Amino acid sequence: MHSRLRGFGELAILLHSPNNVKIFNSIGDMRTACRAARRGGKRLGFVPTMGALHAGHMSLMRAAEASCDTVAASIFVNPLQFGPKEDLAKYPRSFERDRELLEKEGVELLFAPSVEEMYPAGAVTWATVEGLSDKLDGRSRPGHFRGVTTVVAKLFHIVEPDAAFFGQKDAAQVAIIRRMVRDLNFGVEIVACPIVREADGLAMSSRNIYLDPRERKQGLVLHGALEAVKESWEAGERDVARLIAAGNAEIARERSVRLDYFEIVDADSLDRVKEAGNGALVAVAAFVGATRLIDNTVLGE
């Protein structure tokens, strides 16, 4: 991807589309373009991604377009958020397809840096949200959220957006980024957008491509477990242990699905709650074959 774009110089612009997205590989060029986009008080929206875009990502682009004058996006598979035994090498990469999707949505600026551009040799600085980063996915994937917050902090410094858009499917990530923004006084509004699902209820994810047809069907059990908890809650149940038991019973119907966690937590602090009140986050993660899927719902939403 990057070697092909370098032929156009550091500032790579594709001109063959009437709504062409301008692609930047260098931090300096992206920063200059974003500052120009914000001139005159114009509002800049930003959607950070790792590529392999799907309808969930497109919903974020549309949300940004609806409330901002200019939309910027990034495609960067961030090595810092992958563990040593995780899927960095095989993570799906489809830059040309992604570019076309972004152009169709009217995204104007795309940041596509190399790893070397984002992490210069000798870099030793991290952005870590203590206390939250070791909960939910952070407990299962040590160091994951430290990698997420470090790259997002860098991207926010480069792009300087007025608003950044994230998917509710990554609810723990949203809570952690909100806390980082508050604690470090970033001047950016964090907007969480609803989960986008397939027709059968499976939450859209770039990792769904790893699932074979049988696993794809098995993966529906995550949404089914959340729906079981939601139905029980709407019927009046507030006891966390009973609600979790209802979710676990659904997961157990698919014996080949290996549960990572099933928890009910406060949506902001990610602390486990004693009673499932309105606004509590029900979050699940499980392995379907070799693929780890996550999903969640907010009670009373």
Residue 126: φ, ψ to 5°: -125, 155
Tell me the CB-side half-sphere exposure of residue 98, using CA atoms within 13 A. Answer: 23
Q: Which two tokens stand for residue 83?
A: 């563990």
Q: Which two tokens stand for residue 204?
A: 């859209």
Dist CA 81 CA 147 (whole Å): 4
For residue 102, give the nearest of 20, 44, 187 by alpha carbon.
20
For residue 72, give the nearest of 105, 98, 44, 35 by alpha carbon.
44
Sign of CA dihedral 132, 137, 138, 139: positive
From 57, 144, 157, 223, active-site residue: 57
Dist CA 213 CA 194 (whole Å): 26
For residue 43, give the nearest of 20, 71, 23, 62 by alpha carbon.
71
**What is the CA 281 to chain-centroid distance, rounded?**
17
Cβ burial 9-30 (10 Å sphere, 16+ → b, else e): eebbeeeeeeeebbbbbbbebb
Active site residue 16: no
Sign of CA dihedral 43, 48, 51, 52: negative
Dist CA 33 CA 277 (whole Å): 45
Catalytic residues: 57
